[in-house]
A and B are shown apart, each in its own frame.
Chain A
């Protein structure tokens, strides 16, 4: 079939099974937008109001479904506006395809109108990128891009397509197969290493599982639950890993790290065997590396060899897909027919329960102001703990992670690695698009929501019934908290002055707005808001301005050096 480059792109996306594409048109992408109009059958394009939001939306779609999210933008400013979104996806290893228009090949390098070196700008924040110079290479390049983005450790791939390549013609046939000599993702963990790991696990007296986003990305949740249940060991999950193991299970001792629970961080500090799966020893998790898990032997399972022994040198590295490796662990364990040391495990659990009894997440419930923790808990109750929850970045994000207990994978969607304010609302759009009938909510702050507030318009156009839960403390709360603790309460630039009336703002966009400022009416008002199943509702909850996130491990401190209240 003889098609233009632009048509090839559209046909390819449909043949690849892409359902949604998030984007914004402009000069260097016009041939593609035209082909979208003439050639697309099933493919649905969603017009955002800012390219950054397109990327976050595609990212939210990818995180909630496991399928790659696809973005289409123009050259120059269109491309540069995607940078924050791409970096966000890169840090959290989500599969994204970002298609950027480019000026015609004979104009490249001449500082043409809306020309930027997209491939150069995005190089450090992508898994890979391509500049397509010949229309005959287009279909295969697209196939490679999807293959790279979705296999191994997933990540964003950028494809820059000059306008003349979009207009040139070539015969098109969907490439069924793809092979890259320099890219061979590991498909199986080393059996010998897995055996060693299983033996080390069984020999443990104070074991702990420390699992991360890799379990969710790698669809390893089911096998993990099986493994953890059969051993009876405690498990702590990272911010990115929440939901891979049910939070309401007794073996779950909560999130670890800077704002993790007392019991999780102390159990990490005192463990003798640490089983790290799909987690990457991030500095927000380890605290001071020199003081990290001083008595532990470490097993580390990860798809990415470069993640292993990067920050912390481990004893048994296993490179492989989480699902396959953990499944093999389960099989080997069943064959061995050996049980963990019951006496030691009993003692370990009583120690952990003692730490647990400190009840580090308790908070004052007597005041007349709404506590952000109480707001999240109320939202949890109203949504029966069964919503898809996205978050922005700040205190509200930590409160969401701590108080909305996640029992299923892919339900908690936040920017963990880059910590991108402005992620939450567009990400929720991606999730709602993927699951039109699900309850999707975005827990945000009055600071973060203003970083992509323009998307209220997109939500109106596509009828996305998202519920925005804004924990409005009138401050860049997380910044204020650090200033209170570490900068002698000099609240430099952390007060959010001149806030809009969010209720009226929501109404101006055609949505419903609700303001909640009384703890007594909160639950009822939330119930009413969530009862509006097919409406977008902006719920502005006025919370205690002075509340802080506890516990906290100050940067540079050890895991056993927590501030409790």
Chain B
């Protein structure tokens, strides 16, 4: 969605979700090239009826300029993840191979750790994490999904 780039706009959106008992699975927001607007992608889970209600309630917020449900049509979804792994002994080789398979990049290296950057759909990032012994994952940070419509359609005002 596009929201006014004003203090408070984000809390109106998040407040709506908590007040009405909807769940925010992921949320990412940043200003756009038009300074007065922020672009926000929010992932939530619900029935078609719930999603319809959520969209209607979002539209009711004065600071929300435009909302679309990306899952209604073909779209691209991407998330960025940074993972710090404990990488010693055999795992130094193993993690290079695994990261390669997932088309990730090792962006920082120490004697005992790797930091991996990975971009993709949420499920792909989940799969990468699932492939690693949890004891070796030191830290993860994920952006939450961002989305855009395929083809010529745009979210514009």
Contacts and interface: CB of A to CB of B under 8 A. Distances in A.
Interface of B: 4, 7-8, 11-12, 15, 19, 49, 52-53, 56-57, 59-60, 62-66, 157
Interface string A291-322: 00000000000001110011001000000000
Contact of A148 (B11, B49, B56, B62): B62
Contacts of A1: none
B53 A310 contact: yes
Interface in A304-344: 304-306, 309-310, 313
A182 B62 CA distance: 6
A498 B109 CA distance: 77
30 contacts: A120-B11, A123-B8, A123-B11, A123-B15, A124-B15, A124-B19, A128-B62, A131-B7, A131-B8, A148-B62, A180-B62, A181-B65, A182-B4, A182-B62, A182-B63, A182-B65, A182-B66, A183-B62, A304-B60, A305-B56, A305-B59, A306-B56, A306-B57, A306-B59, A306-B60, A309-B49, A309-B52, A309-B53, A310-B53, A313-B49
Contacts of A148: 62
A119 interface: yes
A310 to B, nearest CB: 6
B64 A182 contact: yes
Nearest to B18: A124
Interface of A: 119-120, 123-124, 127-128, 131, 148, 180-183, 304-306, 309-310, 313
A313 B4 CA distance: 32
Contacts of A305: 56, 59-60
B15 to A, nearest CB: 6
A183 B12 CA distance: 15
Given A180-B62, A183-B62, 4 more contacts: A123-B8, A124-B15, A306-B53, A310-B53
Contacts of B52: 309
A377 to B, nearest CB: 41
Nearest to B65: A182
Nearest to B3: A182
Contacts of A310: 53
A309 B47 CA distance: 14
Nearest to A183: B62
A366 to B, nearest CB: 50
A180 B63 CA distance: 10
Contacts of A304: 60
Nearest to A304: B60
A119 B7 CA distance: 11
Nearest to A119: B8
Contact of A181 (B11, B56, B157): B157
A279 to B, nearest CB: 17
A185 to B, nearest CB: 10
Contacts of A180: 62
Contacts of A124: 15, 19
A310 B54 CA distance: 10
A58 B64 CA distance: 29
Nearest to A152: B60
Contacts of A313: 49
A120 B7 CA distance: 11
A269 B100 CA distance: 64
A306 B60 CA distance: 8
A309 B8 CA distance: 29
A123 B12 contact: yes
Nearest to B157: A181
A181 B4 CA distance: 10
A490 to B, nearest CB: 32
A206 to B, nearest CB: 27
Contacts of B12: 123
A304 B57 CA distance: 10
Nearest to A120: B11
Contacts of B65: 181-182
Q: Of A182, A304, A309, A310, which is in contact with the most chain B CB atoms at under 10 Å from its CB?
A: A182
A128 B64 CA distance: 12
Nearest to A124: B19
B62 to A, nearest CB: 4
A136 B127 CA distance: 53
A131 B6 CA distance: 11
A160 to B, nearest CB: 11
Contacts of B7: 131
A323 B65 CA distance: 27
A561 to B, nearest CB: 26
Contacts of A131: 7-8
A182 B60 CA distance: 9
B147 to A, nearest CB: 20
Contacts of B11: 120, 123
Nearest to B36: A181
A216 to B, nearest CB: 21
Nearest to B9: A182
A529 to B, nearest CB: 45
